[in-house]
Amino acid sequence: MTATIKICGLSTPEAMDRAADLGADMAGFIFFPKSPRHVSVETASALAGQARSRGLKTVAVTVDMDNAGLDEIVAKVRPDWLQLHGGESPHRAAELKSRYGLPVMKAFAIRDAADFDKIEPYKGIADRFLFDAKAPKGSDLPGGNGVSFDWRLLATLDGAANYMLSGGLTKDNIGEALGISHATGVDVSSGVESAPGVKSLEMMDSFVRAVRDADKGRPQE
Ligand SMILES: O=C(O)c1ccccc1NCC(=O)[C@H](O)[C@H](O)COP(=O)(O)O
């Protein structure tokens, strides 16, 4: 199975170009001022144009954002996906899907098996799930913390669940992660950074290569 690759927190034309050269599928923009990956709407708009011209889908990553903020992002960035990385309710997710006519990826913070119960009311609303690790105590960020959860917990999930695996993925652990999970995609941020918010082109190369190696050992679905 070929996993969709999302590289999150892109903020420069060089990194966007490399993501496209490598055949990544999705580019994520972080709209969260406390994040070292935060981009302005103007920067994201320019990068999104570049992504579109290179065939990459774009994802606007937001956290409990109000309609005014989302209206501006959708109008100026024209993302292909909305990633909801906060406590957005199923009702809010449905409302945003219909307001913008965009597919929604709902993120869930996972620490133990019970955390997967939370996806139930989003079934039929979220177009894709994203499973990330719970933020460590004291972190200001709900995502992008470079920490993993126990991937063995994914065995408790319905095999048909369409989800991206996220949280602390690197070139060194992605083979094991994909061997354990039935993820249809992977999402990486810190694992391809030389410093918080600074994407390393070399680390992006190695990560994508490692995903494609791991793909070869996965059953076709
Ligand atoms: O990456 C951030 O800084 C961020 C901030 C606020 C909300 C979400 C954020 N990231 C969302 C992502 O999709 C990340 O790629 C995901 O959490 C994995 O990050 P990492 O563990 O650093 O690979």
Evaluate whether ipTM surpasses 0.95. Answer: yes
Q: Which of 7, 59, 189 to mutate to test the pocket of ligand 1 (most atoms within 8 A of CB)?
A: 189
Report CA(98)–ligand 1 centroid distance (Å): 25
Confidence at residue 221, expressed as pLDDT on a 0 to 100 scale: 60
Angle at which helix 41-53 crosses helix 13-21, to 10 degrees, equals 30
pLDDT tens per residue, range 145-176: 999 999 999 988 877 789 999 999 999 999 99
For the chain, percent of residues with pLDDT exceeding 70: 99
Spell out, as residue ranges, where the chain has pLDDT lower than 50: none
Max CA separation in the chain (angstroms): 45
What pTM was estimated for this model as a whole? 0.96
Contact between 76 and 45 under an 8 Å Cβ cutoff? The reply is yes
Confidence at residue 220, expressed as pLDDT on a 0 to 100 scale: 67
Among the atoms of ligand 1, which is closest to the Cα of residue 147?
21
Confidence at residue 154, expressed as pLDDT on a 0 to 100 scale: 92
User: What residue ranges in the chain does DSSP mark as E strands?
Assistant: 4-8, 26-30, 57-62, 81-84, 104-110, 128-133, 163-166, 185-188, 193-195, 198-199
Report CA(162)–ligand 1 centroid distance (Å): 19
The protein residue with its alpha carbon nearest to ligand 1, atom 2, reads: 144
Ligand 1 binding residues, C-beta < 6 A: 8-9, 28, 30, 32, 35, 37, 61, 63, 85, 132, 141-146, 166-169, 187-191
Tokens standing for 74? Answer: 């959708």
Among the atoms of ligand 1, which is closest to the Cα of residue 8?
15
Identify the H or E element spanning 217: none
